[in-house]
Amino acid sequence: MPSFTTSGLSLAYEVHGEGPPVLLVHGFASSGKVNWIDTGWVETLTGAGYQAITLDNRGHGQSEKPHDPELYYPSQMAEDAIALLDHLGISQAAVIGYSMGARIAAFMAYNHPERLPAVIFGGMGMNLINGLTDGNDIIAGLRAPALSDLTHPTARQFRIFADHTGSDREALAACMETSRQPMARADVRRIEVPVLVAVGEADDMAGAPEALAELLPHGEAVTIPKRDHMRATGDKVFKAAALEFLGRTFPTGSI
């Protein structure tokens, strides 16, 4: 995979197709491939005439994996994503973030609104503001000697996912300590970029999408039927809603 260096870290990325660029920012313990290629998102976007750019966040995938929690605040990872756009010579790109990636996208939209014509928060509703209640359990699960030691359902879920993806569990534990930093309610109200908030109907990790959309000056909400946090990622309703939203806010003829 190609890579670039920002803040002293080497980060991996891939560019697919041609057209108006859409940057895809994955969730915790995932990667560009797992979150966006394996779920059909890249194929969906390129088929609709967009260029899809996947990034492996620091601590994930093929990117460098520091073990220092001070290197994983969402504002820092938002700057990584902006640095990738700079590296590619892209002045504006729509952004789709899922879960932790949505939190990163929110900080991008707040700090660099001129770079983002449209943003989609997947798997992230009011917990953008309220925070993640299971974070300490997830950290303990990642650091536990064995899966059999775990009883907390969310901790088990993420431990299984991390093992499945061959992740550096200590890097992920460090990431979880600081990447879940909430965004201030007042800052959410200042995000002037059009935002679609998409959350699974059975997602108990994201928080309510409608309440977050109401706080955003240009927010819209969609509920993905019968999907929990993990299974909503590649859902066809999510993809259809995203394409419809992009078609209005960042159409393929715009660049």
pLDDT tens digits along 26-60: 999 999 999 999 999 999 999 999 999 999 999 99
pLDDT tier at 254 (50, 70, 90 boundaries)? low
Sign (positive or negative) of CA dihedral 242, 243, 244, 249: positive
Q: State the average pLDDT over residues 218-239.
A: 97
CATH superfamily of 3-130+182-249: Alpha/Beta hydrolase fold, catalytic domain (3.40.50.1820)
User: Looking up tokens 């907390």, which residue turns up?
Assistant: 152
Cα–Cα distance list, 217 to 191, 196, 197, 211 (Å): 7, 11, 13, 12
pLDDT tier at 255 (50, 70, 90 boundaries)? low
Q: State the average pLDDT over residues 207-230.
A: 97
Q: Got the DSSP string for 202-239?
A: T-SSS--HHHHHHHSTTEEEEEETT--TTTTTT-HHHH
pLDDT tens digits along 91-105: 999 999 999 999 999
State residue 13's pLDDT score: 98
Residue 202 CB partners (closer than 8 Å, separation 6+): 226, 227, 228
Give the β-pairing of 51-55 and 3-6. Answer: unpaired
pLDDT for residue 193 is more than 90:
yes
Cα–Cα distance list, 251 to 26, 216, 229 (Å): 23, 21, 28
pLDDT tier at 109 (50, 70, 90 boundaries)? very high
How far apart CA 41 and CA 45 sit, in angstroms, is 6
State residue 210's pLDDT score: 98
pLDDT tier at 133 (50, 70, 90 boundaries)? confident
Per-chain mean pLDDT for the chain: 96
How far apart CA 92 and CA 96 sit, in angstroms, is 13
State residue 7's pLDDT score: 96
Q: Measured between alpha carbons, how far apart are the two ends of the chain, in Å? A: 26
